[in-house]
Homo-oligomer: A and B are copies of this chain.
Amino acid sequence: MFAGLSAFPLTPMNESGIDEAAFVRLVERLAGAGVDSIGVLGSTGNYAYLTRAERARIVQLAVQHAGTVPVIAGIGALRTRAVQELAEDAQQAGAAGVLLAPVSYQKLSDDEVFGLYRDVTGTLSVPLCVYDNPGTTHFTFSDELHGRIAGLPQVASIKIPGVPDDAEAARARIERLRAQLPPHLTIGVSGDALAARGLNAGCEAWYSVTGGLFPQTALAITRAARSGDAHRALQLSGRLQPMWELFRQYGSLRVTATAAELLGLAEAPSLPLPLKTLAGSDRQRLAEWLAEPALT
């Protein structure tokens, strides 16, 4: 489950609630494309902005509409207690795995983060992916801490925030981390602009924002890299350069939500306030680029 393309769909929403019909359409689109797993309630799925009941509902809908594709559910929250409740909800709804980021308000220590994963995996029945995303959690894992957490029961994968933009440096980064991990753990790359680089460097999975909206494109990149055609993977990724530039400027969530609105896959507004999608000339630029045949 924690290998290949894991596609992370948006959770389209507005101030009244979740747009369930739009979410179901996104999930069905991913299942139809044959992605390897569907990661709901990731950062792209706006898990941090939803209530417990809304999150349980999203996992239920995803499992109902994902066909045979396994569903991985984000269970991150500030309190250990809340994470445990969310894990229970996700399992009851049929999630095949869970994804846990050490979300913080108070800056966390290594021991506190280890304690979080220990307490949560202690009562967990499905495999867990460690979600390392310092840009949103403001916690930076050391490789040594990854190694300690990797020894806990149910821990099966690590979602890393990205790799250096150089083939050798990327490979060295993955090897350094892998040296700390039991052999059964997979490493998955995120940070879509450098995902091809990460896959080429030996990551088994791509935890992909882009795959949540453009599954065929992300599958083509993943398959090229995983079959050893590193050049082709980079070439395909390079076609998305205009999108990677917007990702850097606005964050991948705002850009992907804007694209979903422009493509008619979500109604505007699709993000929870105070978050806003792109406006003005950058929205126009994205619309023009989406009209080109680079994406499917």
Task: Name A residues whose Cβ lies closer than 8 Å to a Cβ of B.
Answer: 15, 43, 48-49, 78-81, 102-103, 105-109, 111-113, 115-116, 119, 135-136, 138, 251, 253-254, 272-276
Contact across chains for A107 and B81 when beta carbons are under 8 A apart: no
Nearest chain B CB to A182 CB, angstrom units: 23
Given contacts A81-B15, A136-B106, A251-B106, is CB(A276)–CB(B111) below 8 Å?
A: yes
A227 to chain B, nearest CB (A): 34
Q: Find the residue from A15, A43, A106, A275 having the highest chain B CB count within 10 A.
A: A106
CA distance A109 to B282 in the complex (A): 15
Nearest B residue to A254, CB-CB: B106
Min CB distance A141 to B, Å, is: 14
Is B79 a contact of A116 with CB atoms below 8 Å?
no
- Residues of the B chain whose Cβ atoms lie less than 8 Å from the Cβ of A43: 105-106
Instruction: For the complex, give the distance between the alpha carbons of A80 and B273 in Å.
Output: 5
Instruction: Please indicate which of the listed interface residues A43, A109, A111, A113 has the most CB atoms of chain B within 10 Å of its own CB.
Output: A109
Smallest CB gap from A117: residue in B: B274
Q: Is the CB of B78 within 8 A of A48?
A: yes
Which residues of chain B have C-beta atoms less than 8 A from A275's C-beta? 106, 108, 112
Q: How far is the CA of A107 from the CA of B273 in the complex (A)?
A: 13
Q: How far is the CA of A15 from the CA of B79 in the complex (A)?
A: 9
B273 touches A105 (CB 8 A): no
Contacts of A78 in B (CB 8 A): 48-49, 272
Complex contact A49–B79 (CB within 8 A): yes
Chain B: minimal CB distance from A144 (Å): 18
- A125 to B108 CA separation, bound complex (whole angstroms): 36
Q: B274 to A116, Cβ gap below 8 A?
A: yes
Say yes or no: B79 contacts A272, CB within 8 Å. yes
CB distance from A41 to the nearest CB of B (A): 12
Query: In the complex, what residue of chain B is closest to A107 when comparing beta carbons?
Result: B251
Interchain CB contact under 8 A, B273 and A119: yes
Residues of the B chain whose Cβ atoms lie less than 8 Å from the Cβ of A108: 274-275
Chain B residue contacts of A112, Cβ below 8 A = 274-276
A273 in complex: contacting residue of B79, B253, B274, CB < 8 Å: B79
Q: Which of B81, B113, B135 contacts A272 (CB 8 A)?
A: B81
A44 to chain B, nearest CB (A): 10
Looking across the interface, which residue of chain B has its beta carbon closest to that of A118? B274
- Shortest Cβ distance from residue A249 to the other chain B in the assembled complex, whole angstroms: 10
Residues of B within 8 A of A105 (CB): 43, 48-49, 103, 136
